[in-house]
Structure 1
Amino acid sequence: MSNLGIKLVMAQYRAFMEYRYQAYKIELTQLLLQLKNFGLLFLVILGSAMLGMILLLFLGLGKIIDSSDAPQYGAQMAWLYLLLQSVMLSAMKSAIKNNQQRFFQRTIVRSNWLKLMDIKLLFLSNGWLLASAVIALDLTLSQWLRAPHFVLFMLLQFGLGVLCLYKPRALIYGLVFTAILVLLPINIVPLAYHCGFIILFALSIFLPAFSLSDRLSVNSLSTFWLSFFLQHSWILVWRVALLLCVFMAVTTLLNERNDLAAIFSVVAVAFIVLFTSSLQFDCGKLRDKYALFFQLNNQQRLFFISQFIPSCLFFFISMLSYLMFVANIQWLLLSLSVVWCTLQLYIAKKKPAHYALVWMITTGGLLAALT
């Protein structure tokens, strides 16, 4: 190819790269607007806690690196990081791949250009991998020799990002299998855990697709709601992932400052109530959509009551998981949490604009009263 041809190809590639970057920024802005529309809650609460979450992020990475004394705990922390990264990248996947104009792009550029830009935007979007890279650059040679598993962890972070873009089903299978691995009562070195992660994710690529929703017969209210959550699993996935993050953060903080257990318990309960009761927003929308259908079938009252059951089940499962795997909670706080979740469900249904305000006031009141 002549120099003129090479310059022309490079100019075309730079133009395509600029186009993809602009499309990425536009879709990301729309995603942030959707989050903003959810309410003031995430902007005020999670925004103000951003510094603390960043500090916990680096503290967790330190636990993964220095996990020779507690390899299973370090592997569990690594699995949690991979899960949270996968959730974040799944939310940004449409912006990274520019799905809205994907078919158009295939008609104007070669496929390897598409994948190359996908990988570039994946690096730009993966804050978890960038945080690991910052830690890696600060490690000395002796520290690298004591933590060779951290190299595999970073490779997993990159590999799971690629799976998220092109093989999401394999990513789900792999997360399930690796969760079983880190929960098994075995004691192996950190390097063996991460090698196991790589093997299980690699095997997941070759597993056939399986969809339970296609085989489910919707013939009752219970199967109606089950079908809804199977087809819209994302509304549960991101909540479960954030709850796991809260649980792991509380576990880490309790190990460092057990004298502040009362404060950590209130904060944990607050987030459990937040993520479980907010499910009512999604269930309420579905109830409004199908209310007329169930009215014609004389099931209007049952359908109205059923919209609160998923949030209640989610709350009790989350609270039980916290009690079993993280820490105990005082009976007074446990009883108040049930009343609090009921109140938030009522506010979400009757006064959704006040949902965030009620949650913040109740959280502050409990912190002041019980700590």
Structure 2
Amino acid sequence: MSKLVISSTIAQYRAFMDYRYQAYKIELTQLLQQLKNFGLLFLVVLGSAMLGMILLLFLGLGKIIDSSEAPQYGAQMAWLYLLLQSVMLSAMKSAIKNSQQRLFQHTIVRSTWLTCMDIKLLLLSNAWLLASAVIALDLTFTQWLRAPHFILFMLLQFGLGVLCLYKPRALIYGLGFTAVLVLLPINITPLVYHSSFIVLFALSMLLPVFLLNDRLSVNSLFTFWLSFFIQHCWVLVWRVALLLCVFMATTTLLLERADLAAIFSVLALAFIVLFTSSLQFDCGKLHDKYSLFFQANNQQRWFFISQFIPSCLFFFITLLSYLLFVAKIGGLLLSLGVVWCAVQLYIAQKKPAHYALAWMVITGLLLALIA
């Protein structure tokens, strides 16, 4: 191959790389705009907690590395990190792959170039892997000898990113299988836990695709809502992932500062109410979309009531899970939490613009009463 051909190929690749990078930035800007349009919720609530989330991120990585005395807890923390990473990358998947122009790209460049750019943008997007790399560079050789499983954890972070791009179904299966593993009451080493993760995710790639929605007959309100959540499972996935993060963070903080248990309980309850009652925004949109259809079938009243049931069920299931697996909540605070969730649902339905403000005011009042 002549130098001219090589130079021309390199120039074409750089031009394609610049194009993909520009498309990546544009789609990310649009994604951030969508979050901003959600209202004060993400801008103020999650934005103000960003520093604390970063500190908890590195604290959790420390627990994963130093998990020889509590291997199951370290494995559970690693699984949570892999889940949260998968949720974040799933949200950014379209930007990473430039899905809107994917077919066009296949006509102008070879598939290896597409894959190469996908991997580059994946590494750029994976903040969880970058955080692990920062920790890894700070470890001494002696510390590496004591934590060989952290190498497997970083390989899992990269591998699951690739699965998220190209085999999302296998990623879901793998997360389900590994969730069962970390909940089993067994006593194995951290290295065996992470090796088992790799094996389970590898086996997940061999499983066939199973589409439940194709076998579901929509003939009642129950199957109508079930079909909606199967087709739009993302509205539940990101909320469940963030709630698991709240659970794990609360558990870690209670171990470090048991004297602040009352404050942690209020904050945990606040985020439970926030993430479960906000499901009403999605259910309310679906109600508005199909209200005329159910009115024509004389089911308008029941359809109106049914839009609140998913959020209520989600709240009670989450609250029960918190009480069973994390910590107990006082009876008075528990009762206030139920009323609080009902208030947030009402505001989400009648005054959605005031939803975030009401949540922050009630959270502040409860913290003030406890302090």
TM value normalised by structure 1: 1.00
Structure 2 residue aligned with 1:367: 367
Structure 2 residue aligned with 1:171: 171
Structure 2 residue aligned with 1:139: 139
Structure 2 residue aligned with 1:231: 231
Structure 2: how far apart are the matches of 1:4 and 1:296? 70
Answer yes or no: is 1:349 the counterpart of 2:352. no
Structure 1 residue aligned with 2:128: 128
Following TM superposition, by how much is the alpha carbon of 1:211 offset from its aligned partner in structure 2, in angstroms? 1.0
Q: Deviations over 1:302-327 (max 9, x none)?
A: 00000000000000000000000000
Structure 1: how far apart are the matches of 2:353 and 2:48? 20
Structure 1: how far apart are the matches of 2:350 and 2:119? 45
Following TM superposition, by how much is the alpha carbon of 1:301 offset from its aligned partner in structure 2, in angstroms? 0.2
Structure 1 residue aligned with 2:217: 217
Structure 2 residue aligned with 1:267: 267
Q: Deviations over 1:4-48 (max 9, x none)?
A: 110000000000000000000000000000000111111111101
Q: Deviations over 1:71-105 (max 9, x none)?
A: 00000000000000000000000000000000000
Structure 1: how far apart are the matches of 2:338 and 2:148? 46
**% of aligned pairs identical?**
83
- AA partner of residue 219 (structure 2): N
Structure 1: how far apart are the matches of 2:157 and 2:332? 41
The correspondence of residues 301-340 of structure 1 with structure 2, limited to 5 A, is: 301-340=301-340
Structure 2: how far apart are the matches of 1:287 and 1:369? 37
Structure 2: how far apart are the matches of 1:264 and 1:212? 39
- AA partner of residue 108 (structure 2): I
Long gaps (5+) in structure 1: none
- AA partner of residue 335 (structure 1): S
TM value normalised by structure 2: 1.00
Structure 2: how far apart are the matches of 1:329 and 1:66? 30
Structure 2: how far apart are the matches of 1:214 and 1:29? 35
Q: Deviations over 1:214-239 (max 9, x none)?
A: 11111100010000000000000000
Structure 2 residue aligned with 1:62: 62
Structure 1: how far apart are the matches of 2:313 and 2:324? 16
SS at match of 2:298: coil
Structure 2 residue aligned with 1:88: 88
Structure 2: how far apart are the matches of 1:158 and 1:17? 21
Structure 1 residue aligned with 2:155: 155
Structure 2 residue aligned with 1:99: 99
Structure 2: how far apart are the matches of 1:17 and 1:227? 40
- AA partner of residue 221 (structure 1): L
Structure 1: how far apart are the matches of 2:323 and 2:7? 63
- AA partner of residue 194 (structure 1): H
Structure 1: how far apart are the matches of 2:214 and 2:34? 29
- AA partner of residue 232 (structure 2): H
SS at match of 2:209: coil
SS at match of 2:188: coil
- Where does structure 1 differ by over 3 angstroms across 4 or more consecutive aligned residues? none
SS at match of 2:210: coil
Structure 1: how far apart are the matches of 2:77 and 2:70? 11
Following TM superposition, by how much is the alpha carbon of 1:363 offset from its aligned partner in structure 2, in angstroms? 0.3
Structure 1 residue aligned with 2:299: 299
Number of equivalenced pairs: 371
Structure 1: how far apart are the matches of 2:3 and 2:267? 63
- AA partner of residue 113 (structure 2): W
Answer yes or no: is 1:255 the counterpart of 2:255. yes
Structure 2: how far apart are the matches of 1:188 and 1:59? 23
CA RMSD of aligned residues (A): 0.4
Structure 1: how far apart are the matches of 2:109 and 2:46? 40
SS at match of 1:328: coil
Q: Deviations over 1:263-316 (max 9, x none)?
A: 000000000000000000000000000000000100000000000000000000
Long gaps (5+) in structure 2: none
- AA partner of residue 109 (structure 2): V
Following TM superposition, by how much is the alpha carbon of 1:370 offset from its aligned partner in structure 2, in angstroms? 2.4
- AA partner of residue 294 (structure 2): F
Structure 2 residue aligned with 1:38: 38
Structure 1 residue aligned with 2:50: 50
- AA partner of residue 326 (structure 2): V
Structure 1 residue aligned with 2:118: 118
Structure 1: how far apart are the matches of 2:9 and 2:121? 21
Structure 1: how far apart are the matches of 2:370 and 2:54? 27
Structure 2 residue aligned with 1:78: 78
Structure 2: how far apart are the matches of 1:337 and 1:127? 34
Following TM superposition, by how much is the alpha carbon of 1:49 offset from its aligned partner in structure 2, in angstroms? 0.5
Structure 2: how far apart are the matches of 1:118 and 1:35? 24
- AA partner of residue 313 (structure 1): L
- AA partner of residue 126 (structure 2): N
Structure 1: how far apart are the matches of 2:142 and 2:192? 20
